[in-house]
Homo-oligomer: A and B are copies of this chain.
Amino acid sequence: MPTSTDTHLAATLRIAVMRLARRLRTERPDTDLTLSQLSALASVDRHGPMALGALASHERVQPPSMTRIVGALADRGLVSRVPHETDGRQILIATTEAGRDLLKEDRRRREAWLAQRLRELSPAELAVLHEAAPILEKLTSV
């Protein structure tokens, strides 16, 4: 019985999560950045200054593609290219103030939609989600 229940939970949870993620992704301001650009910018912001090659492999993209992505971001002033201190071949990509602002605004708008939905729930339902959130996080930390 527990096994069959778990299979059903997996199916239900998967659909709910995918659907919710889809909505969260849709509730995105049109920053006119491509998803690749936005993703690379977020990575640099999250992990700190990185070499172009490291960023490319982290984003599962080839170096030439990352050269173009970073070029587009740099043209908008969202990232800066800093030469490596000791290795003249490498360049470090870092977010600028404008880049951080854009990411902050992006997150804020996505959270706004969800926060509004949450305000429509009952206290009991909110309590359940409070307990569920860390468990959902735990699922991906394997």
Contact = CB atoms under 8 A, between A and B. Distances in A.
Counting every copy of the chain, the complex holds 2
A130 B14 contact: no
Given A7-B115, A115-B7, A17 B17 contact: yes
A20 B21 CA distance: 9
A14 B137 CA distance: 10
A21 B10 contact: no
Nearest to A127: B131
Contact of A135 (B23, B128, B140): B128
A54 interface: no
A2 to B, nearest CB: 8
Contacts of A1: none
Given A10-B115, A128-B128, A128-B132, A18 B21 contact: yes
A125 interface: yes
A137 to B, nearest CB: 5
A22 to B, nearest CB: 8
B20 A24 contact: no
Contacts of A118: 6, 9-10, 13, 139
Contact of A114 (B19, B128, B139): B139
Interface in A1-49: 5-7, 9-25
